[in-house]
Amino acid sequence: MFSKEQKNIILQIAKDAIKEAILNKKIINKDKLIASHPWLKEKGAVFVTINEFNALRGCIGSIIAHRSLIDDIIENAKAAALNDPRFKPISKEELDNLEVEVSILTPPKLLPYKDIDDLRAKIRPGIDGVILSLNGHQATYLPSVWEQVRNFDEFFSSLCVKAGLHPRCLEQHPTIYTYEAIKVKDEKWVQ
């Protein structure tokens, strides 16, 4: 879907946005980037994940595309660096230790299912990101979360809890949407 060059551009925009946020200095020239790469104007939904020494340091994103891809990358990168409520803002001293990952999401699709066994048969571990919604509660896990859990039951139990629900909330037949993510990742921070 995205060429290697496009992925490199996406990753560089995220890194530059993080630097802009932390250093409080203008780095990104949006007009120039869009003139050279018009595809950045298309609507897109991304999550930006920041790790430091292989530990999560910030992750913010959009599930639904509601602004241009370039704006979604910039805003979510800055928010992941400074506004993830689980962490203190990233400091200038941490910049050299960061690993950045951008997940570009496909539009979510409703996944009809009869019961838990039917859902288990339809979910594709490692491929599907999942949005779970029940009684005004909602949470999502990116497809990469499958790498951190042992199985379907652990994935959904944790997702239920993340949504503020009982770990066995699947028994109440929540609404499930799935999406895929194209991961753009760089293991080392490039200055």
Average pLDDT, the chain: 94
- pTM for the predicted model, two decimal places: 0.88
- 119 has a pLDDT exceeding 80: yes
User: Average pLDDT in the 138-144 region?
Assistant: 94
User: Confidence class of residue 187 from pLDDT cuts 50, 70 and 90?
Assistant: low
Q: 124 exposed, middle or buried (CB, 10 Å; 0-12, 13-18, 19+)?
A: exposed
Tell me the C-alpha distance between 41 and 28, whole Å. 15
Torsion of CA 154, 121, 162, 160, to 10 degrees: -90
Interior/surface letters 38-54, b for 16+ CB within 10 angstroms, e for the rest: eebeeebbbbbbbbbee
Tell me the C-alpha distance between 131 and 60, whole Å. 15
66-70: long-range contacts, CB 8 A cutoff, minimum separation 24: 67/43, 68/40, 68/41, 68/42, 68/43, 68/44, 69/10, 69/39, 69/40, 69/41, 69/42, 69/43, 69/44, 69/104, 70/13, 70/30, 70/33, 70/34, 70/40, 70/41
* CB-CB contact of 59 with 129 (8 Å): no
Q: 153 exposed, middle or buried (CB, 10 Å; 0-12, 13-18, 19+)?
A: middle
Tell me what percent of the residues of the chain surpass a pLDDT of 70.
Answer: 97
pLDDT in tens, 75-107: 999 999 999 999 999 999 999 999 999 999 999
